[in-house]
Amino acid sequence: MRGALDAIDLFLEAWPDYAATGALDELRAQEFGRLDAEGHTYLDYTGAGLYGASQVRRHSDLLLSDVFGNPHSDNPTSKRSTDLVERARRHVLSFFNASPDDYCVIFTGNASHALKLIGESYPFGPGTRFVLTFDNHNSVNGIREFARARGAETEYIPVDPPDLRVDAPTVEHALGVTRSGGPGLFAFPAQSNFSGVQHDLGWIAAAQSRGWDVLLDAAAFVPTNRLDLGRWTPDFVVLSFYKLFGYPTGVGALVARWPALAKLRRPWFAGGTITVASVGADRHHLARGAQAFEDGTLDFASLPAVDIGLEFVESAGLDVIHRRVTCLAGWLITSLLALRHTTGRPLVTLYGPADVRARGGTVTVNFRDASGGFIDHQRIEAAAGERRISIRSGCFCNPGAGELAMGISPEEMTSCFARSSDRITYDDFRRCIDGKGTGAVRISFGLASNFADAWTFVEFARQFLA
């Protein structure tokens, strides 16, 4: 990595904060040696975080040293599982500085599952509204189907290109009490998984003071930012743990404020969620708190690994991770924007803020040829793959941000839907929108990222210069 070594002095001059994050280089050597041993440049942390070797070792040692039974019981092996599940639950609260008096942790399969719990249980009805920003993940967008089915109105707040931020008056207008329909549920991502934009967490209290319940999608934010639920108090927070620390997969959480949780009405009951159910009497009573939302048996073998993973991130230090990722994203953006074809045209178009204020380590671009035409994002991902660079291309399950970033109008989308059937493939749909990008290339940094990763991507990008 000679080139990276030559470039690092200039990088450190421009981003002096990076020097204080050296502990993460040691951590990378100890815990993520497989990245360099296998020649990987991993740049998809918004897709999934990576686990440190010691997390897996500690978890397997734990599983091999004890006996764990189904937690829905009172026997010794069952109690052992319950102890560790409850320990993980307490740790999630302390990780987010949430008081158990204010918040409850419900373990789910992932963030999408947590969102579905909210969607299917929220008291939507005629006269209530579901308001959300355009740059939500599809698993938040999908809640509109529950809202619509129960007669609630859905309203999107647009994000403005090129930064893809929302200005405060637009939010205030959308949440205004004078508009038709009362309050309801307001949802936004703490960090957009498309653009890296971090929205103003001040919206939470502003919306609540007008009677809204606030759903904060924290999935893309929490891996590299501190979320302090002592300071910000959204009603619902959703996340997936693999995005934070890679392992275990298949576990997420809905962290809910008690009064908001009390408003949710579950559409069914299942094993584990009731205090009592009767077939003869055709009645049931739901359990209280988290238990009412955890259908069937929890992933009790994996949950101790959540405790271990949280400890791993705490010992690395979220503030250090945040600082490193900010420096790398800042350098990457500046370096990519500086690349020009011999025609003078820029190599990339950036979607999202060009500075590092209120943005995370997710950088989304499209590549352009010397005459300004799009270079297909799938081609870029494939070429990166040949160099063992892992990036993501497409719309990242965030169609709203993509449509606004690429200037695809609702009319164009509607006409393509009208001409297509349920069975249309993504590629066929793309062909319907002529001459515009329908996806982009996403590079994202995380806990184990270093300067060589960012540098490798910029060197890779140069091959498309003409």
Positions marked active-site: 397
Structure tokens at 135: 């740059």
CB of 139 to ligand PLP, least distance (A): 5
Residues numbered 254-313 forming contacts with ligand PLP, rule: CB under 6 A: none
Q: How far apart are CA 405 and CA 15, in angstroms?
A: 28
Structure tokens at 176: 């205004």
Q: How far apart are CA 347 and CA 341, in angstroms?
A: 6
Q: How far apart are CA 118 and CA 215, in angstroms?
A: 9
Residue 390 engages ligand PLP in binding (rule: CB under 6 A): no
CB of 116 to ligand PLP, least distance (A): 9
Amino acid at 87: R
Residue 449 engages ligand PLP in binding (rule: CB under 6 A): no
Contact range with ligand PLP by CB under 6 A, out of 85-93, 108-116, 253-261, 381-389: 108-116
Rule CB under 6 A: choose which of 71, 189, 402, 439 binds ligand PLP.
189
Please measure the distance between the N-terminal and C-terminal CA atoms of the chain and give it in whole angstroms: 25
Residue 193 engages ligand PLP in binding (rule: CB under 6 A): yes
Amino acid at 2: R
Question: DSSP string of 101-167?
Answer: TTEEEEEESSHHHHHHHHHHHS---TT-EEEEETT--HHHHTHHHHHHHTT-EEEEEPPBTTTTB--
Site string for ligand PLP, 12-51 (x = CB under 6 A): ----------------------------------x-----
Rule CB under 6 A: choose which of 111, 131, 260, 350 binds ligand PLP.
111
Contact range with ligand PLP by CB under 6 A, out of 25-33, 55-63, 216-224, 283-291: 216-224
Among 118, 121, 103, which Cα is nearest to 255's? 103
Amino acid at 271: G
C-beta closer to ligand PLP: residue 295 or 369: 295
Number of residues that bind ligand PLP (CB under 6 A): 12
C-beta closer to ligand PLP: residue 111 or 332: 111
Q: 37: which strand partners?
A: none
Whether 110 and 244 have beta carbons less than 8 Å apart is answered as no
Residues numbered 133-172 forming contacts with ligand PLP, rule: CB under 6 A: 137, 139
CB of 351 to ligand PLP, least distance (A): 15
Instruction: State residue 187 phi and psi, 5-degree precision.
Output: -125, 135
CB of 3 to ligand PLP, least distance (A): 32
CB of 194 to ligand PLP, least distance (A): 9
Residue 219 engages ligand PLP in binding (rule: CB under 6 A): yes
What residues contact residue 118 under an 8 Å CB cut-off, 6+ apart? 143, 185, 215, 236, 238, 254, 264
Rule CB under 6 A: choose which of 41, 55, 110, 128 binds ligand PLP.
110
Structure tokens at 53: 């070797």
DSSP element (H, E) containing 311: helix 303-316
Whether 381 and 443 have beta carbons less than 8 Å apart is answered as no
C-beta closer to ligand PLP: residue 189 or 446: 189
CB of 362 to ligand PLP, least distance (A): 9
CB of 191 to ligand PLP, least distance (A): 7
C-beta closer to ligand PLP: residue 195 or 456: 195
Residues numbered 220-249 forming contacts with ligand PLP, rule: CB under 6 A: 220, 240
Q: Is the dihedral of CA 223, 227, 229, 233 positive or negative?
A: negative
Residues that bind ligand PLP (CB under 6 A): 46, 110-112, 137, 139, 189, 193, 217, 219-220, 240
